[in-house]
A and B are shown apart, each in its own frame.
Chain A
Amino acid sequence: MKTFGAFLLFLSNLVKRGESPRILFNRTIDEAIIIGIDSIFIVAVVSTFIGAVTCVQISYNLTNALIPRSTIGFMVREMTILELAPTITSIVLAGKVGSSIAGGLGTMRITEQVDALEVMGINSTSYLVTPKILAALLVFPMLVIVSMFLSILGGYLAGSLSGALSGQEYITGLRTDFIPYNITFALIKSVVFAFLISSISSYQGYFTQGGALEVGRASTKAVTNSVIAVLIADFLCAQILL
C-alpha cells in the first residue's frame, strides 16, 4: 500500500513543471524510435508464430465435417485481435521495453546521472520518465496493429502450407461477422498496457538504490510487476469494455 502511494506520488511528479514542449517532443520521438526499433523484430517473430500455431491447433480440434473450414480463419481473427495480439505483444514488450527502461534509469541513478540532472535544476522525472511513457503510449498501439496483421498472415501461411484450409477459405473466414469495435477494444487495451508497463518500469528503475546488483534486481522486478499488472488489467478491460 505504501509502495502504491509512492507510485502515485511519482506519477504526479511527471506532470509537474517540466521542460519546454519542444524538448519534450524531441525526447519523446527519440524514445519512441528506440522502443520501436528495439522491439519490432521480436514482436514480428512472436506474432507470426502465434498466428500460425493458433491456426494449426484450431484446425486440429475442428474435426466436425458440418463446420465449414473457413471457421478457422474466423477464429484466428477473433482470437488474435481480441486477445493474442494486444496481450501477448504487451507481455513480450514488458520483458523487452520494461527491463530496458528499468535498467537504463537504474544505471543513471546509481552513477549519479539523475543527480547531475537535478543539480542543473532540471526536473529529472519529467525529463527522463515522461518521454518514455508518452513514447510507449504512441508506439505500443502501432506494434499491436503490426502484430494483428502478422498473426493473421501467420495463420494464413500455416493454413495453406499445412493444407488445413485453402487461402480462399481462410479469407472468407476472416471476412465473416467482422466487428470493428474489437479493433478499438484492442487498441484501448494496448494503450492501458503501455501506460502500466512504462510507468511501473520507470518507477522501479528511478528509485534504484545501491549498485549494479540492484539495477539487475530492479529490471527483474519491473518485468514481473508489469506482467502481473497487464494480466489484471486485461481481465478488468474485458469485464468493463466488452
Chain B
Amino acid sequence: MIEIHNIHKTFNGVKVLDGIDGVFESGKMNMLLGASGTGKSVLLKCIVGLVKPDLGSITYDGRIFANNKLDIKQEIRRKIGMLFQGSALFDSMTVSENVEFPLRMLTDMSREERLARVEFCLQRVGLEKAGNKMPSELSGGMKKRVGIARAIAPHCTYLFCDEPNSGLDPLTAITIDELIKEITLEYDITTIVVTHDMNSVLEYGDNVMFLYKGKKLWEGHSSTIMDTRVKELNDFIFSNRLMRDAKKVEQIEEEERQEEENEKNNL
C-alpha cells in the first residue's frame, strides 16, 4: 500500500501538483486519469522519487519514502517496477538484454533462470520473436511492451505504468491491461496506472483518481464514474462521440421511463 499526502510541486512558478492525497492499495488497479498536461507523470515521478515534491509525504507500506536517506530509498526502489511514458529502454542493449537487466542487477538468479524469465516475460507481451532486436528497430508500441516486460521481469512489489496502452491497437491494449491486472492480483502488487484511455478505466479501474489542473477532483470505483456530477470529469468522459451518444441513449431511456411512470400515475 502506498499513501501520499498533500503533494505539492511547482515548476518555474507554475503549479503542477496542488495538494494531492491518495491511498493506493495492493491487489487493486489504481488508476490516475486526466487530460494531457495535468501532472499525472509528474505525480508518478514524485511517488518514485525522481521528482522531489516541494511539500508532502509519501509512504510505502508505512515506510517513509520522500526525503528519506538514499540507502532506504534505493532499498524500496529495488522492489519497484516502472514503465516510463517514453519506454526508456536502454538503447545500447538488445530487447532481451533490456528485460534481463533488472534481473542481472537486482536478483541472484542463475543465467538459465534469467533467460527463462526473459523469454516468459517477452512472450507475455507478445514479443518472443523480437529478443535480438535493438530498441531503435522497434515501433513505439513494441517499445512500450518491452518496457512492460522489463518492469514486470523481477517480481516487484510496486508497479507503476505511465500510459501502458497508449499507441497500441485496441486488441493489444486489452492484452496489456489484462496482463497488468493479472499480475497485480496474482502477486498482490500495488499497481498505479496512468492513463487517458476510458476503455481501460471502465474495464479495469478498481480505484480511479481524476486529476484536473493539479488537483484531485474525483475518486472512486470505475463503476460509479458515469454517474459523476463533477463537470470537468463529465466533460472528459463524454468528450468523444461514442460516449456522448451512449449518454444520450441513456438519457432518452431515462426520460421515456419517467414518461411511462407519469402516464401510469395519471391513469
A residues near B (Cβ < 8 Å) are: 17, 19, 23, 107-108, 111-113, 115-116, 118-123
Interchain Cβ contacts under 8 Å between A and B, 26 examples: A19-B105, A23-B105, A107-B91, A112-B88, A113-B89, A113-B90, A113-B91, A115-B45, A115-B50, A115-B84, A115-B88, A116-B90, A118-B50, A118-B77, A119-B80, A120-B77, A120-B78, A120-B80, A120-B101, A120-B105, A121-B74, A121-B75, A121-B77, A122-B74, A122-B105, A123-B74
B residues near A (Cβ < 8 Å) are: 45, 48-50, 71, 73-78, 80, 82, 84, 86, 88-91, 101-102, 105-106
B102 → chain A, closest Cβ, in Å? 5
Residues of chain A with a CB closer than 8 A to B75's CB: 121
Residues of chain B with a CB closer than 8 A to A119's CB: 48, 50, 77, 80, 82
Residues of chain A with a CB closer than 8 A to B76's CB: 121
B208 → chain A, closest Cβ, in Å? 24
Cβ of A111 and Cβ of B88 under 8 Å apart?
yes
Q: Which residue of A lies closest to B106 (CB)?
A: A120
Residues of chain B with a CB closer than 8 A to A120's CB: 77-78, 80, 101-102, 105-106
CA–CA, A123 and B90, complex, Å: 15
Cβ of B106 and Cβ of A116 under 8 Å apart?
no
A3 → chain B, closest Cβ, in Å? 20
Cβ of A17 and Cβ of B50 under 8 Å apart?
no
Residues of chain B with a CB closer than 8 A to A19's CB: 105
Which are the 7 A-B pairs with shortest beta-carbon distances? A121-B77, A121-B78, A112-B88, A121-B74, A116-B88, A119-B82, A112-B84
CA–CA, A123 and B77, complex, Å: 11
Question: Which of A107, A111, A115, A120 has the largest number of chain B CB atoms within 10 A?
Answer: A120
Q: Which residue of B lies closest to A17 (CB)?
A: B71
Instruction: Knowing that A113-B89, A120-B78, A120-B106 touch, tell me 14 more A-B residue pairs with CB under 8 angstroms.
Output: A17-B71, A111-B88, A112-B84, A115-B45, A115-B88, A116-B82, A119-B48, A119-B77, A120-B80, A120-B101, A120-B102, A121-B78, A122-B105, A123-B74
CA–CA, A115 and B89, complex, Å: 11
